[in-house]
Amino acid sequence: MSTAEEVRPEPVEAAPAAVTLCEAFQATAERFADDIALRTVDGTTQLTFGEYAARVRSLAAALAAAGVGHGDTVALMMGNRVEFHLCDTAALHLGAIPFSVYATSSPEQIAYLLENSQARVVIAEEQFVPRILAARGTGAEPSTIVCLDGAPEHTTSLDAFEAAGDPAFAFEASWRAVGPDDVLTLIYTSGTTGPPKGVETTHANMLAQCRAVGSVLPMRPGARLTSYLPSAHIADRWSSHYNQMVFGIQIIPVADARQVAAALPEVRPTIWGAVPRVVEKIKAALEAAIANEPDEQRRAGLQAAVATGLEVVRQRDRGEEIPEELAARHAQLDAAVLAKLRERIGLDQVEWMIVGAAPMSRDVHEFLLALGLPITEIYGMTEASCCLTIVHPDGARIGSVGPAIPGLELQLAEDGELLAKGPTITRGYRNDPAKTAEAIDADGWLHTGDICTLDEDGFVSIVDRKKELIINAGGKNMSPANIEGQIKAAHPLIGQVAVIGDRRPYNVALIVLDPDMAAAHAAKAGLADTSVEAVAADSGVQEAIAAAIEAANAKLARVEQIKKYELLAEEWLPGGDELTPTMKLKRKPIDAKYEATIEALYA
């Protein structure tokens, strides 16, 4: 047991009687007033819960002075930073509805969100102000644009905005008037199949979510967590922002998600979450470091430690008892080697890790477990306030996302679609009763759109999105996500894969290099140009990708195998044409954009 584990406090819910996030926050801020609530990675900015609460009171008065009241909406457009928490929490204490806009949104997309939400105020970083002004056009709303890091024309600086608040504002009466059925936030879906839908999450929904997951995964006061996923996504809001209000954890925002791996050794989180692509890159970087270790004896020791860890992981997964000799050897290698690897990547103090938002390949899951990381895979949806399933790492099963969170019911429809019912399910989409009725039936069951299996223990395994399953020309059903996972796991240079094969005679794939791994390869190979375009043209890289496809195909059923592929000389960026901000594939836009390339693969 590490020193960090020995001094960890008992898990606690700061406000077990709270019925709104306002009540939870106020109780937490009072109980842990002197503890650090928010800090930057380098520690130059730190706010205690007491200081956080004082700023919330001040900003709530400023929002009220700007005309924001109960039921009004406030738009936030900023990266992961301390001010997000201050402004969002201040707005919800008015009974207002704060929501976030993705940083990649175009003026047209922003205009749609502002109109649909009827936002009264926008709080944003200066870099986004031109897009917001273009979105507002000649309209009167939003009437106020607050700039966090400047005061360009047509905006008010945050300092000036906050100073305009009435010190005598009846703050306590305001937050005590907020009810459990009031909307806490709007989470807009990525809009890959049409205009974004604004999911209305209530205070009661989110409290049920935090408490249910907290009953399975320990939430300890002072636990450290990095916030780096977009705040417009439910995963970051639940995992960091709202859990902090309920349990008193410490949040360290990381403004650039690409820098989160570099930040981990600095902040050493005690709880942590990631999307699969982030942990895939951690695995690839570690494997590359081990393979490139110049000391032959040390390299062999590292490889032996990981191999032993994998042996233990696979035997446990098969339900086999670990032989005494293997257990002893593993314990020795864990202390001497694997512990140092965990320390190297900054995850040596993690009590639990969750991975979700997309399927994680077995290879990645096994590797992380072999390192000794307490990882568990979850499954969630915006419409369910985040997690639908959860399991403690001690009970996790590779290939499954666990059973339903406490208090939630799950069942399978006749076609295998997973249905969910319970207190975390949204009341619907903002101003869209037709779409709400499509998603939630008359009996209150949320139709997830995912085809799943449910075993006798209630453990869920995801097959794929109902609308994304490949049904080939021969009538065979396949999961593109599973095939893509095998291909990505076959070589660290592979960043993204899109498999195509619906109503086709065989499967083909579009492959994109990972920009970080491409740059590393270029440096090692002595290539003058480190761009993805140049690396993709390198004959050695093309040979490596061909070998990776062959290796992946060996693990796939014949009908699933990739017969042809195209290595694209470009990047797919989060929030771009091909990927959502959380790096899920936009399949229909990809099909449309690369139609000519795809057709050539079938020619």
pLDDT digits (tens, 9 = 90+) for 436-456: 999 999 999 999 988 899 999
Distances (CA, A) of 43 to 39, 227, 335: 6, 15, 30
Please report where in the chains the tokens 């996500």 appear, as a residue: 481
pLDDT in tens, 126-155: 999 999 999 987 676 788 999 999 889 999
Least confident window among 114-118, 156-160, 280-284, 385-389: 280-284
Read off the tokens for 45: 């900015």
Beta-carbon contacts of 366 under 8 Å, excluding residues fewer than 6 positions away, are 310, 313, 314, 317, 398
Higher pLDDT, 534 or 54: 54
**Bridge pairing between strands 156-157 and 446-454:** unpaired
**Bridge pairing between strands 250-253 and 224-227:** parallel
pLDDT in tens, 329-355: 999 999 999 999 999 999 999 999 999
Distances (CA, A) of 163 to 56, 74, 82: 13, 18, 19
Quick one: pLDDT band at residue 1, thresholds 50, 70, 90?
very low
CA-based angle 504:452:488, to the nearest 5? 60
- Does position 110 have pLDDT exceeding 60, yes or no? yes
Task: State how far Cα 474 lies from the chain centre.
Answer: 36
What are the helix (H) ranges across 177-291?
Answer: 203-214, 234-236, 243-247, 260-267, 276-291
Q: Averaged over 410-418, what is the pLDDT? A: 94
| β-bridge mates for residue 507, sequence order | 562
Q: Taking each helix axis from N to C terminus, what angle separates 480-490 and 539-553, rounded to the nearest 10 degrees?
A: 130
Read off the tokens for 145: 């644009």
Q: Identify which of 201, 269, 191 has the alpha carbon closest to the alpha carbon of residue 234.
A: 201
* CB atoms closer than 10 angstroms to residue 297: 8
Q: Which residues of 179-189 are buried (b: 16+ CB within 10 A; e: fewer)?
A: ebebbbbbbbb
Measure the CA dihedral 261/265/270/276, to 10°.
20
Residue 425 φ then ψ, to 5°: -75, 135
- Rounded Cα distance between 501 and 470, Å, is 6
Read off the tokens for 454: 């449910």
Do the domains 13-271 and 471-601 sit in the same CATH topology, yes or no? no
DSSP codes of every residue in 261-274: HHHHHHH--SEEEE
Beta-carbon contacts of 183 under 8 Å, excluding residues fewer than 6 positions away, are 71, 97, 200, 201, 202
Read off the tokens for 570: 């470009």
Q: Does domain 471-601 bear CATH number 3.30.300.30?
A: yes
346 in helix, strand or coil? coil
Residue 28 contacts residue 49 (beta carbons within 8 Å): yes
- Rounded Cα distance between 124 and 147, Å, is 5
Q: For residue 580, what pLDDT is reported?
A: 81
Q: Please, which contacts does 347-351 make with residues 24 or more away whose CB atoms are closer than 8 Å?
A: 347/264, 347/268, 347/269, 347/272, 347/373, 348/2, 348/268, 349/2, 349/4, 349/268, 349/269, 349/270, 350/269, 350/270, 350/271, 350/272, 350/374, 351/5, 351/8, 351/218, 351/220, 351/223, 351/270, 351/271
Look up the pTM and report it: 0.85
Task: State how far Cα 456 lies from the chain centre.
Answer: 29
Q: For residue 190, what pLDDT is reported?
A: 66
Quick one: pLDDT band at residue 192, thresholds 50, 70, 90?
low
Average confidence score pLDDT of the chain? 91
Please report where in the chains the tokens 């738009």 appear, as a residue: 75
Burial of 7 (0-12, 13-18, 19+ CB in 10 A): exposed
The structural domains of the chain, with segments of one domain joined by +, span 13-271, 471-601
Most confident of 100-109, 218-227, 472-481: 218-227
- Rounded Cα distance between 106 and 102, Å, is 9
Query: Looking at the domain 13-271, which fold is it?
Result: Rossmann fold (3.40.50)
Read off the tokens for 484: 């893509």
- Rounded Cα distance between 542 and 527, Å, is 14
CA-based angle 218:342:404, to the nearest 5? 35
The percent of residues above 70 in pLDDT, for the chain, comes to 98
Residue 66 contacts residue 120 (beta carbons within 8 Å): yes
Q: Identify which of 216, 208, 196, 202 has the alpha carbon closest to the alpha carbon of residue 11.
A: 216
- Does position 193 have pLDDT exceeding 60, yes or no? no
DSSP codes of every residue in 26-82: HHHHHHTTTSEEEE-TTSSSEEEHHHHHHHHHHHHHHHHHTT--TT-EEEEE--S-H
The percent of residues above 90 in pLDDT, for the chain, comes to 70
Distances (CA, A) of 578 to 107, 258, 498, 510: 19, 18, 10, 11
- Rounded Cα distance between 353 and 394, Å, is 12
Read off the tokens for 51: 């200081």
| 3-state helix, strand and coil shares in percent for the chain, rounded to the nearest 5 | 40, 20, 40
pLDDT in tens, 293-305: 889 999 999 999 9
- Does position 581 have pLDDT exceeding 90, yes or no? no
- Does position 2 have pLDDT exceeding 50, yes or no? no
- Does position 4 have pLDDT exceeding 60, yes or no? no
Q: For residue 191, what pLDDT is reported?
A: 54
Q: Averaged over 382-403, what is the pLDDT? A: 94
- Does position 7 have pLDDT exceeding 80, yes or no? no
Residue 275 contacts residue 356 (beta carbons within 8 Å): yes
